[in-house]
């Protein structure tokens, strides 16, 4: 069964969704291709390709959606949902600010892992 990309965060009760446009924008911000995103999220390349081919809200099984969103967040991507605090409004993505100790250092992607 395929579900829209709605992941409930148990602690804060937030619902996170991701669109195919957000997926592509997140990859662009991280400067990675679909294969690297597949490696980071521990999903297959065809799964990533199917997700990005979605019309709007990404659909897939819950486990895959959680892996995808978790990998993007671990890499520093913040998903901006509809109605979230954002000057321009609407959905989007942005990179989270890194702690001061890490500023000036670049994250490197090696074999599907953030180094």
Three-class SS of the chain:
CCEECEEEECCCCEEEECEHHHHHHHHHHHCCCHHHHHHHHCCCHHHHHHHHCCCCECEECHHHHHHHHHHHHHCCEEEECCCCCCCCCCCEEEECCCCHHHCCCCCCEECCEEC
Number of domains in the chain: 1
Residue-level pLDDT at 53: 94
Residue-level pLDDT at 68: 95
What is the residue whose two structure tokens read 């991701």? 18
Please compute the mean of the pLDDT values over residues 78-106 and round it to a whole number.
61
**CATH number, residue 71:** 1.10.260.40
Please compute the mean of the pLDDT values over residues 105-115 and round it to a whole number.
47
pLDDT digits (tens, 9 = 90+) for 8-56: 444 443 446 789 999 999 999 999 999 999 999 999 999 999 999 998 8
pLDDT digits (tens, 9 = 90+) for 55-90: 888 988 889 999 999 999 999 998 887 666 655 555
**Domain boundaries, position 108:** 3-114
- Distance, in Å, from the CA atom of 37 to the CA atom of 22, rounded to the nearest integer, reads 13
The pTM score is: 0.67
Select the more confidently predicted residue: 96 or 109.
Answer: 96
Residue-level pLDDT at 83: 60
Residue-level pLDDT at 86: 57
């Amino acid at each position: 069964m395929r579900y829209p990309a709605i992941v409930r965060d148990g602690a804060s009760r937030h619902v996170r969704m991701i669109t195919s446009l957000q997926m592509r924008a997140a990859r662009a911000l991280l400067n990675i291709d679909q294969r690297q995103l597949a490696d980071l999220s521990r999903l297959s390349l065809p799964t990533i390709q199917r997700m990005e081919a979605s019309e709007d809200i990404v659909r897939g099984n819950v486990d895959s959606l959680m892996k995808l969103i978790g990998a993007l967040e671990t890499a520093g991507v913040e998903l901006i949902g509809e109605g979230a605090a954002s000057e321009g409004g609407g959905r989007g993505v942005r990179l989270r600010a890194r702690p001061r100790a890490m500023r000036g250092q670049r994250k490197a992607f090696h074999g599907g892992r953030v180094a």
